[in-house]
């Protein structure tokens, strides 16, 4: 069974940058859409960045222009590059693998993802 392992979280001041990593198998990165979700205390899980195997990406409106999802198959790693971070970005961040293969554009609903990492905490202070 696939395991996704996130790393790279921590604390940063508003306006700062951070990159999250998610280790996955090469098979997963080559055949499945992937995504980053986040969940803040008391809030529902929110999808922020999505990438299909063909490289097509989608972003939540709240992070467009600040967060970038990318994939390095050689390193077997999914990334979330985060710039100009805001206190509202404070959350537990999870990488996830889509349930099905073959998407031309990445699915956007959490229910369409069935493999999740353990999460990495990002805290942005004002």
Distance of alpha carbon 61 from alpha carbon 94, whole angstroms: 18
What is the share, in percent, of the chain residues with pLDDT greater than 90?
Answer: 98
Name the 3-class secondary structure at 33. Answer: strand
Pairing of strands 67-72, 77-82: antiparallel
What is the share, in percent, of the chain residues with pLDDT greater than 70?
Answer: 100
Give 32's pLDDT tier (boundaries 50, 70, 90): very high
Distance of alpha carbon 35 from alpha carbon 97, whole angstroms: 7
User: Does the pLDDT at position 36 exceed 90?
Assistant: yes
Question: For the segment 47-66, what is each residue's pLDDT rounded down to a tens digit?
Answer: 999 999 999 999 999 999 99
């Amino acid at each position: 069974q696939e395991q996704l392992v996130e790393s790279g979280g921590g604390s940063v001041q508003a306006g700062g940058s951070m990159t999250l990593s998610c280790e996955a198998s090469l098979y997963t990165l080559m055949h499945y859409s992937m995504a980053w979700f986040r969940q803040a205390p008391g809030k529902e899980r929110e999808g922020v960045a999505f990438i299909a195997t063909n490289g097509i990406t989608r972003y939540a409106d709240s992070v467009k222009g600040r967060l970038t999802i990318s994939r390095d198959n050689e390193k077997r790693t999914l990334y979330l590059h985060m710039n100009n971070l805001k206190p509202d970005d404070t959350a537990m961040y999870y990488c996830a693998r889509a349930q099905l293969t073959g998407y031309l554009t990445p699915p956007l609903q959490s229910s369409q993802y069935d493999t999740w990492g353990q999460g990495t905490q990002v805290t942005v202070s004002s």
